[in-house]
Amino acid sequence: MANNAVSKDLPILITGAAGFVGKNLTAALKSAGYTDLMLFDLDAPADNLAAYAARARFVFHLAGVNRPKDPGEFYTGNRGFTEHLLHLLEDAGNCAPVLVTSSIQAELDNDYGRSKREAEALVFAHEKATGAPVLVYRMPGLFGKWCRPNYNSVVATFCHNIARGLPIQVRDPACELPLVYIDDVVDSFLAALEGRAARDCSVPGFCHLMCESYTVSLGRLAGLIESFRDSRGSLAVPDMGDPFTKKLYATYLSYLPEDGFAYPLEMHTDARGSFTEFLRSPDRGQVSVNVAKPGIVKGNHWHNTKNEKFLVVKGRAVIRFRRMDDPAGQVVEYHVSGDRLEVVDIPTGYTHSIENEGEDDLVTVMWASEPFDPERPDTIYEKV
């Protein structure tokens, strides 16, 4: 199926649509403009599946059982349901492509692994008997938004519990997990829908996810998520240059309780106004919000290495500069306003100040190239 041949009204069947992968895939398909999605899950009327199987022109078979009370349910939910779905497709004479999510645990000799292997065998037999293309993905551990905590995902459980101040258990901090991010998985599935699946030539029928897999220890996983929680107090920005940290932080935020999205900042206030730090990082500096009352002048200092950027977002101000080694003492002025957003660089070696020229509070967003360190402030008083 070539990319250009995929119509947005293609009838697509998704089993397990209410699960973690199903929710994310459904949202992505809708966002991409696909309009004929047949969503089937355990709570859907059983008769719907036959009608869906007859109409579908592509099948995402995501449904499965991975944590039953009775081990026999592995075989009913994984092998048995797969067999039922394939029979419905065959009875309808439907040779639509079938994408199946299996598990890397299919290589293990336990009930879950055996049930997944048996389901895979049925799918491959279906392809041989009908000619319908099948795409089987053995999934590693997944993480991302909308995964059920305290079920079968340690990432979801850690994020949910740490965000709520609940305890977590790390039995073996050195234990390593292979993890893939849900948005990357969905991208791979959309590519498969468009005929661009990455097949494993050494194992017919099996496909590779077209994305990076991350190996992380339980100890590091817990430590990172705890650092996200603590960042509200430290104002530290996670390392967004690291792909895993970036994706894990996005995942953590999705587990915040709905009454816990907001958090207060420490405001340093006096008669002149206020100064409040917002974000800080060791390699990207510090962002603060400065409020000055009418007529107030702030600053009158200079830096050797630290540099800043000022952005007035409300009110009117004049920013003054004087180069410290200028014998003439020339003062340079920039008049700025929240009505026309303009960034003013504060170079090193210039003493500088900002004065509120308006009648209302002046609000300035300030970025400094390094977080303030009281042991090495690099801030020298000198009136402009």
The catalytic site residues sit at 112
Q: Are 363 and 312 in contact (CB under 8 A)?
A: yes
**Amino acid at site 34:** Y
Q: How far is CA 144 from CA 55, 156, 231, in A?
A: 31, 8, 20
Cα separation, 336 vs 339, in Å, equals: 9
Cα separation, 297 vs 131, in Å, equals: 78
**Amino acid at site 277:** E
Angle at 208 between CA 206 and CA 214, to 5 degrees: 135
Residue 281 CA to chain centroid, in angstroms?
20
Q: Are 38 and 13 in contact (CB under 8 A)?
A: yes
Residues sharing a CB contact under 8 Å with residue 265, sequence separation 6 or more, in sequence order:
235, 276, 277, 278
Q: Are 384 and 353 in contact (CB under 8 A)?
A: yes
Its sign, for the CA torsion 196, 201, 206, 212, is negative
Token output for 127? 């392809």
Block residue for tokens 């990082």:
281
Its sign, for the CA torsion 148, 154, 156, 162, is positive
Q: Strand, helix or coil at 12?
A: strand
Q: Strand, helix or coil at 29?
A: helix
Angle at 163 between CA 160 and CA 166, to 5 degrees: 75
